[in-house]
Structure 1
Amino acid sequence: MKRCLTIIALLIVVIGYSQVGIGTVDPKSDLHIVKTADNDGGSIQIDGGIRLGGTESVQGSKGKVGQVLMSTGSTAEWVTIGKFDGYFSDCAVPNKVIYVNIDLPSGSNGNQVNVTSSQMTNALNSLPDGGIVVLRTNNITTYTDATTRLTIELPKAVNVLNKPFAIAFDGPNSTNNILNNNKSIEILVKTTDDPSYVYELSTVSSTRKFFIKSFPDNNNNDYKISEIENNSGRAQHILLFNSYTIKAINSNTWSFTTRDCYVQNPSN
């Protein structure tokens, strides 16, 4: 009886810790395939395709044409190179997007905060390493006033240290807002820390120097990070984005670098 119990216990241990090895007697993972030769060009040949996920009764996903298999750390997923959940960018930010629904009425004058520090903090908490914050209006809006200002209150810098992000302004899901002819929209950011400083790249391409200066105070501490003006002669559908990578580099200093980077939605 003791011998039977011992055998059963050994079987449980073996099953619980067993690994599969191909070409090796000492597998290092759940499946370990040892190369057959130094110059054979690869140890795995796949004649069909790879399916990711799935169960015993449901097939996993083969992905879409052009997608590649990418590790997310603990798991893997099919991704399209250069795209960020429908949006893509060349700003120095990770491939992650978070959406914040807002209201921006035509003619908003910059004295009112359209996106609060709390909203930005919650958004960036959902992006552990940073990414793209897409501000989407709840309804399609036509901007008819001469200037509309989208004012964003930045989080406390200490809460988002070294977390790079870019900001985009768009309409509801899969749609754009409309900017009438000879009208403009600006994106302004303001800080909640006092004092606050800016570390930025010069706007003059010939000098290309960096500056460290006090956060601008010429409109309730607002700092303009983007502007679009429609001079096309007709109303236009728009996606507006800031042309910087934004990052808090210490408890009261914000950097605005990677100047002239962009965010674009390929479906619009």
Structure 2
Amino acid sequence: MLYRSFLKLWLLPPMLNILLVAIGLAVIARYRRLGIAICIAGLGSLLALSVPLVSNGLLASIEVARPIDLPAQRWQKAGAIVVLGGGHVELAPEYGGRAWPTSDAQARLSYVAWLQRQIQKPLMLTGGTPSGSQYAHAQVCAEYLQSLFGLQPVWIEASSRTTAENAQQAAAILLQENIHTIVLVTQSMHMRRALLLFEQAGFDVIPAPTELADRKLPVWQASSWLPSADRLADSSLVLHEILGYWVHRLTGL
């Protein structure tokens, strides 16, 4: 796990951009044009990835589904809704020092609380105990759903720590109960990789993404072109998902 974290750190913005600039500066004395070009590439790509239109376009490029079509018939054959964990804060002082889902996890959980009331399917939460934590993520999410929405999951899968393990552990539980079709809930940027992994685990998956790309982001507004740290973070997350998807496709890891 540590080597994966190390590789991701240096293969994704902003560290990748910093690395490019460092390389450019290192060679600029001997290879002036090459060094300048590498520095421009590092700084220029950092700036571009911070622009809302670019960040939003990256997200739109990897989306595999729009919001679930509730009037459609396909979801009716689903045997369960599966929600992927999105992390939690170990100690949230504003909530009395309790473990609490991150904003990403809250987006998934709020959406699934609404979705479950619409389609009335049993719920599975997935997510084990992260390194350095004393709480299983699925259990933290279960307490969140119960306390805020009065919603109780049927299955709590609390041993997985990656998306691949989410899929494998969910399959070990649900396929034994003859549940082969699921509604899968996660962030839109995460859905392509999650969909691949859950299909490989043996499921027929109905994607139900949340936090989708804004397809109406106006090109003519100045705010659409103003760089921001939040948009850079979004771009980095999307590139992480693209990298993870293709690494799995090519290596099976």
* Structure 1 and Structure 2 fold alike (TM over 0.5): no
Larger Rg: 1
As a proportion of its length, which structure holds more strand?
1
| Higher relative contact order (CA closer than 8 Å, sequence separation 6+) | 2
> Structure 2-normalised TM-score?
0.23
